Amino acid sequence: MISNVKIRNEYRDSQLKWKNELLIGAEEDEVRDMKNQMLAENMKYVSIEREIYVDSSDSEAEARISNGIQSSYSCKIKLLRDATGEIIYESGLIDPGFYIETIGLSGSLKKGYYPCTVIWSFYTDEEEFAGEAAWKVVVIIRD
C-alpha cells in the first residue's frame, strides 16, 4: 500500500491501470510486469528509421517518426548520441495517428556513423507520464 499522501492522491486520479493496482495494494512485482507489458504492447505502434541518413550536419534528416493510430498513448522522443549522451534531437508531443517526417539535428556532427539511442516517453490523454522504452538507431552523416 502506498503511504505518501501526495502520491496516493496522484495515483487515485491516474488513468493508468498499473498505478491503480499499486493504490489498492497489489504486489510491486505484479505491477512492474503490468507496466512493462503495457509499454511492450504500445511499442508495436511506434516507429522510427533504424538508419537515419543526413546529407550534411545542417540539413534535415528523414527519420519518419510515427505514433500509430492504434497507440494508447501520446509520445515524445529524444535521440541521444551513445558516445557522449548528448541529445541531438527532441520532439514535441506526438499524438496517436501522427508522425514527423523530417528532423533537424543539433550538435556539430561531422561525416560519419553515430550510434544513438531513441528514448520513447509515453503519456496519457491527460499528459500523465506512463513510462519509457528505448531502442538503438544509427545516424549517418554523408558529407
pLDDT digits (tens, 9 = 90+) for 50-83: 999 999 878 899 999 999 999 989 999 999 999 9
State yes or no: pLDDT of 123 exceeds 60.
Answer: yes
Whole-number Å distance between alpha carbons of 107 and 141: 12
CATH number of the domain at 45-141, please? 2.60.40.2550
Whole-number Å distance between alpha carbons of 57 and 106: 8
State yes or no: pLDDT of 27 exceeds 80.
Answer: no
Question: What is the value of pTM for the model shown?
Answer: 0.79
Whole-number Å distance between alpha carbons of 82 and 137: 10
For the chain, the structural domain boundaries read 5-41, 45-141
> Where is pLDDT greater, at 24 or 116?
116
**Mean of the per-residue pLDDT values for the chain?**
84
Whole-number Å distance between alpha carbons of 131 and 96: 16
> Where is pLDDT greater, at 139 or 1?
139
Q: In the prediction, which pLDDT does 54 show?
A: 93
42 SS3 class: helix
